[in-house]
Amino acid sequence: MAKSDDITIRFALNRSEGPPPLKSEFSEVELTDLRSCLALSICWEPQQMGKEAAARICSVEFLYDGITRFNGEEFGYWFEEGVDELCGYPAPIIRFKLDCKVDPGDFARALFGTSLRLLTSSMHECGADPFFAEDHNGYTSALTHRQRDRWIAYLGAGGVLCGKTFVFPDGMSEGGHLLPAIEFSGVPKG
């Protein structure tokens, strides 16, 4: 892939160590909208890009929140009828605009630590650690522009194309940025 300042990443955030919280650990509000107890930590480590480490992320556009289930896909988060365990895995698709052109593969590696944190109110009250979904298998990847456009069409047809954009005039801070899922989900583009 050629260098670009417009890079779309499809994250594949699998379960981390330990079991996910059970349905019984979610409040009624959290069960109604799982986004209320989820947050995405975009882990930005530009030093992983070597000589392109001076690049800055200027904006982040959520094409897909990674949480909403649609078309029977295996990604997203949901509870099956009669099952107490959380199903699926989050797979957000995020378009990044940068202040200079970089290698998309190097850029994806600089975001490798990105994770989704799940913390229910009951977990918080008892002092339990959050459950994290992370990419331990290296499935996160940069999409070509053609792949991105196919995903946009597919997400649009499924009614889950988000389009929520966050702008960082001075560049996203190194180390990352925590975004509560309620802020980037459920905002249909149109």
Please list the residues that pair with 94 across neighbouring strands. Answer: 9, 62
**Burial grade of 15 (CB within 10 A; 0-12, 13-18, 19 or more):** middle
Confidence of residue 17 (pLDDT cuts 50, 70, 90): low
Asked if residue 131 belongs to a domain, the reply is yes
Q: Tell me the pLDDT band of 184, cut-offs 50, 70 and 90.
A: confident
Is 139 within a domain?
Answer: yes
Range of the domain at 100: 4-182
Contact 164, 187 (CB under 8 A): yes
Query: b vs e for 156-172, b when ≥16 Cβ sit within 10 Å of the residue's Cβ?
Result: eeeebbbbbebebeeeb
3-class DSSP state of 2: coil
> What digits encode the pLDDT tens for the residues 18-42?
678 899 999 999 999 999 999 999 9
pTM: 0.92
Tokens of 159: 């009614």
Residue 114 DSSP SS3: coil
Contact in structure between 15 and 133 (CB atoms under 8 Å): yes
* Average pLDDT value for residue range 142-159: 96
Give domain status of residue 189, yes or no. no
Number of domains in the chain: 1
Spatial distance between the Cα atoms of 9 and 11, rounded to a whole number of angstroms: 6
Report, as an integer, the average pLDDT of 138-156. 95
Q: What is the mean pLDDT of residues 54-78?
A: 93
User: What single-letter DSSP state applies at residue 83?
Assistant: -
